[in-house]
């Protein structure tokens, strides 16, 4: 019997998924979590065979939870995501995740994937894998990513500088570098682009 932890902030999906998987003879859902912190806590407590984690989950995200779980438990992790962006897959794999599944996967296939991962195999959605291989890695430095993240909400240079503890001029330099690398003409376009690619 494969013991599962399911974590997703959408009760609707989590509940439906749990019910669906519970129908399978060899699967059982031992814990459900709606937040990334709960996911880690319940994983420690129940030590499930496999944790199915949503990537977009407050307060941090599924990736952080996956890293923590992989670091201290033998539990295998399958990440489920809505925006299946190549950059995210890259990060997930280096965090030791065994499965990477977009939410466009048919529900009936999930049980198979869980069994494959339980048997020690890995599963990565073929479409995402293909685009991850053809696309280059993130060209931005940590600082550049940091200032781009801070500018997501439309903040001014001064506000960003305040937030990341840098001089306004330095912030403009980093933004300028990021914009040049991404080939766009404003920091807002750069932030949007970086978000689309899954880098921030």
Partner DNA sequence: GTCAGCGGATGACAGATGTCATCTGATCAT
Partner DNA sequence: ATGATCAGATGACATCTGTCATCCGCTGAC
Q: List residues binding DNA (CB under 7 A).
A: 141, 143, 156-158, 166-167, 169-170, 172-173, 175-176, 179-180, 185-188
Q: Candidates 40-48, 100-108, 122-130, 131-139: pick the segment binding a copy of itself (CB under 8 A).
A: 100-108
Q: Tally Cβ neighbours within 10 Å of residue 3.
A: 16
Residue among 44, 72, 107, 112 that touches a copy of itself (CB under 8 A): 107
23 interface partner picked from DNA, a copy of itself, none, CB below 5 to 8 A per type? a copy of itself
DSSP designation for 155: -
- The answer to whether 41 and 86 are in contact (CB under 8 A) is no
Residue 11 sits in the site that holds a copy of itself (CB under 8 A): yes
Residue 154 sits in the site that holds a copy of itself (CB under 8 A): yes
C-alpha separations of 96 from 125, 141, 184 in Å: 16, 23, 34
106 interface partner picked from a copy of itself, DNA, none, CB below 5 to 8 A per type? a copy of itself
Closest residue by Cα to residue 36 from 14, 11, 58: 58
Residues 179-198 that bind a copy of itself (CB under 8 A): 184-193
For residues 158 and 171, give the distance between their C-alpha atoms in angstroms, rounded to a whole number: 8
């Amino acid at each position: 019997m494969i013991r599962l932890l399911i974590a997703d902030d959408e009760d609707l999906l989590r509940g439906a998924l749990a019910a669906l998987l519970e129908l399978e003879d060899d699967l059982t859902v031992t814990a459900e979590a709606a937040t990334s912190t709960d996911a880690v806590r319940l994983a420690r407590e129940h030590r499930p065979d496999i944790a199915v984690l949503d990537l977009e989950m407050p307060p941090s995200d599924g990736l952080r939870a996956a890293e923590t779980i992989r670091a201290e438990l033998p539990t295998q992790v399958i990440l489920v995501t809505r925006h299946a962006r190549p950059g995210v897959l890259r990060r997930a794999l280096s965090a030791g995740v065994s499965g990477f599944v977009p939410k466009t996967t048919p529900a009936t296939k999930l049980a198979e994937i869980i069994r494959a991962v339980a048997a020690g195999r890995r599963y990565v959605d073929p479409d995402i894998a293909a685009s991850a291989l053809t696309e280059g890695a993130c060209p931005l430095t940590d600082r550049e990513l940091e200032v781009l993240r801070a500018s997501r909400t439309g903040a001014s240079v001064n506000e960003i500088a305040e937030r990341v503890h840098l001089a306004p001029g330095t912030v403009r330099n980093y933004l300028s570098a990021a914009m040049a690398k991404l080939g766009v003409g404003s920091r807002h376009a750069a932030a949007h682009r970086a978000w689309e690619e899954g880098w921030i």
